[in-house]
Chains A and B, each alone.
Chain A
């Protein structure tokens, strides 16, 4: 490129050192948060610690949905389907061999004789979710907007039906209970850190920018050499892999998985988190996920004493309406709040 104008040379506003400062800030944040988790684990009741783990996993799921729906502009409701697949795959893999024979007679012999620890089970669960998304996405991602939402909603029903009826392998409607409780708050925390770091780095890379370009204007993106079909599949599959791992973690946290555990209601809740936080805003999704998880847990005693079950859902829905009235693009729009962005990417225009 020849620069012939009388323009000054490119200003290199300390671009080499600044990303490093973002990296340092990220490490420090993780360390401080770890200390807080450790303190909580020592000082608080196991109920609160489990709640904290639940919050972490929910937040990670919301962020992973931000990647699919927020960055790329798809409107997928399919997260619970991938979570269910991930949870069942992992549960079958970690279930004690001694109980598999009686509870799951339909398993092939090699599977009945296998018992994995949690990490390989999670990886295989993620791979299973990703494969399903690849297969489904190839067919479904030609649909746009509401059609995609309906199709992915259908996927939840299909997966639930499968889990309900494939007795020999899933134990039908009763689900798999008494799973080994292999996941504690640290697994949940680690997963959250991983998902946030991954999504953040993706968002501020050329790949993530191209995904946002597809969201903003698909035709213009395509005429700029970007292949929208490929990026959509990629975002859908990555979201599904993370959802499947999250589902598997959740199942091993509460030690049970049934076909109904991850329902359409969860899809709604996750979408609400993304929408309230701002489509594409990682920080917004984190904040909204934390707020909604805490809110619905805090309202549980109220619901029980007054007999108003579903009160938290009502409040979440009202919050959604208020946010959409006052800030139609969510709390933070598609960006990150300035302070957070400067702190972690160390670049003003990033």
Chain B
């Protein structure tokens, strides 16, 4: 593994016309990092995610993955460079089975070439077998072994979230971006999720960035937290530091009434 951080974003900026959605956003994720990105609604968290994953092209700034400059690269190239993500509003391949969803995530890494597939060469059969085996293992890891053959669209909300993570893991990413992974989960599902993320992070060293509204989850899970407000980073530090930060408290609770009256 190279010394360069797995993700390095410098001064990312995104403008939609006159609106600056994200301004001067910096992120540095090392191997094994577990960072939370929080902020009030409309702070630009999802825009920041879309910039990092290549869904949106930044208006300014640079992104590099493991030392390689990827600014402006398409999402599939970002994914191939080791960056995987999940979506706030779950985006599965609903009509495919659970294991097939995971297999799609491993397609670029493990599948045979187009030519080998069309000619059904032995290398195709080997690759297909390996892909199935790896995906089966991941399906077991995310605890859905019994549902492997089920249509993904028919699963419960919590299970669908797991499938998304499984699909992301199949690409063997260096970094995983989770967009509100606990949204819609009940408390016990959330606990399972937290321990799964922590375990994945510790065992495989995958760097994780989490956007989440559940403050308990973020403070409990993350080693470092970034706070975004109106597109700007207003604080970064350990959960304790961030919780005590005046700017953060102001962003979430608003400035005191007195103060505003004087302003």
B157 at the interface (CB under 8 A from A): no
Q: Are B76 and A7 in contact (CB under 8 A)?
A: no
| Known pairs A10-B133, A15-B129, A219-B55; A212 contacts B140 (CB<8 A) | no
Q: Name the A residues within 8 Å of B92 (CB-CB).
A: 216-217, 220
Residue of B with least CB distance to A216: B93
Interface residues on B, range: 35 or more
Q: Are A206 and B131 in contact (CB under 8 A)?
A: yes
Within 8 A of B (CB), among A141-198: 198
- Please tell me which one of the listed residues A226, A335, A348 contacts residue B108 in the complex, with CB atoms under 8 A apart: A226
| Known pairs A205-B128, A210-B107, A225-B76; A220 contacts B93 (CB<8 A) | yes
Q: Are A206 and B91 in contact (CB under 8 A)?
A: no
CB distance from A281 to the nearest CB of B (A): 11
- The 8 A CB mask of B164-187 against A (1 = contact, 0 = none) is 000111111000000000000000
Cα distance A217–B74 in the bound complex, in angstroms: 16
Q: Are A225 and B96 in contact (CB under 8 A)?
A: no
Q: Are B96 and A1 in contact (CB under 8 A)?
A: no
Q: Are B137 and A1 in contact (CB under 8 A)?
A: yes
A4 at the interface (CB under 8 A from B): yes
Within 8 A of B (CB), among A5-39: 5, 7, 10, 15
Number of chain A residues whose Cβ lies closer than 8 Å to a Cβ of chain B: 36
Q: Are B114 and A223 in contact (CB under 8 A)?
A: no
B11 at the interface (CB under 8 A from A): no
Cα distance A216–B114 in the bound complex, in angstroms: 21
Cα distance A170–B171 in the bound complex, in angstroms: 52
Q: Are A222 and B149 in contact (CB under 8 A)?
A: no
CB distance from B243 to the nearest CB of A (A): 32
Q: Are B203 and A2 in contact (CB under 8 A)?
A: yes
- Please tell me which one of the listed residues B84, B114, B140 contacts residue A10 in the complex, with CB atoms under 8 A apart: B140
CB distance from B64 to the nearest CB of A (A): 18
Cα distance A206–B135 in the bound complex, in angstroms: 12
Residue of B with least CB distance to A333: B95
Q: Name the A residues within 8 Å of B93 (CB-CB).
A: 212-213, 216-217, 220-221
Q: Which of B97-105, B210-218, B252-260 contacts A (4 or more CB under 8 A)?
A: B97-105
Cα distance A205–B167 in the bound complex, in angstroms: 17
Q: Are A224 and B105 in contact (CB under 8 A)?
A: yes
Q: Are A220 and B87 in contact (CB under 8 A)?
A: yes
Q: Name the A residues within 8 Å of B97 (CB-CB).
A: 349
Residue of A with least CB distance to B112: A206
CB distance from A306 to the nearest CB of B (A): 43
Cα distance A220–B53 in the bound complex, in angstroms: 11
A227 at the interface (CB under 8 A from B): yes
A94 at the interface (CB under 8 A from B): no
Within 8 A of B (CB), among A208-256: 209-210, 212-213, 216-217, 219-228, 234
Q: Are B141 and A5 in contact (CB under 8 A)?
A: yes
Most buried by B among A1, A206, A224: A224
CB distance from A341 to the nearest CB of B (A): 11
- Please tell me which one of the listed residues B95, B120, B134, B149 contacts residue A1 in the complex, with CB atoms under 8 A apart: B134
Q: Name the B residues within 8 Å of A212 (CB-CB).
A: 93, 95-96
CB distance from A107 to the nearest CB of B (A): 33
Q: Are B137 and A223 in contact (CB under 8 A)?
A: no
B138 at the interface (CB under 8 A from A): yes
Q: Are B114 and A234 in contact (CB under 8 A)?
A: yes
A334 at the interface (CB under 8 A from B): yes
Q: Are B104 and A210 in contact (CB under 8 A)?
A: yes
Within 8 A of B (CB), among A296-332: none
Q: Are A225 and B171 in contact (CB under 8 A)?
A: yes
Q: Name the B residues within 8 Å of A216 (CB-CB).
A: 92-96
Cα distance A213–B92 in the bound complex, in angstroms: 9
Cα distance A1–B109 in the bound complex, in angstroms: 14
Q: Are B75 and A219 in contact (CB under 8 A)?
A: yes
- The 8 A CB mask of B185-229 against A (1 = contact, 0 = none) is 000000000000001000110000000000000000000000000
B118 at the interface (CB under 8 A from A): yes
Q: Name the B residues within 8 Å of A113 (CB-CB).
A: none
Q: Are B75 and A205 in contact (CB under 8 A)?
A: no
Within 8 A of A (CB), among B105-138: 105, 107-112, 114, 117-118, 120, 124, 127-129, 131-134, 136-138
Q: Given contacts A223-B55, A224-B107, list 19 more A-B pairs with CB under 8 A.
A: A5-B140, A10-B140, A205-B117, A205-B128, A206-B110, A206-B111, A206-B127, A207-B107, A209-B104, A209-B107, A213-B96, A213-B104, A216-B94, A217-B93, A219-B91, A221-B93, A223-B53, A225-B109, A234-B114
| CB<8 Å pairs between A and B, sample of 29 | A1-B138, A3-B141, A5-B143, A7-B141, A7-B145, A198-B118, A202-B118, A205-B124, A209-B100, A210-B104, A212-B96, A213-B93, A213-B107, A216-B92, A216-B93, A217-B91, A217-B92, A220-B92, A222-B75, A223-B55, A223-B76, A223-B78, A223-B79, A223-B87, A224-B104, A224-B108, A225-B107, A226-B104, A333-B95
Binding site for B on A (CB under 8 A): 1-5, 7, 10, 15, 198, 201-202, 205-207, 209-210, 212-213, 216-217, 219-228, 234, 333-335, 348-349
Q: What 7 A-B pairs come out closest when comparing CB atoms? A: A206-B111, A225-B108, A225-B79, A216-B93, A349-B149, A220-B91, A213-B104
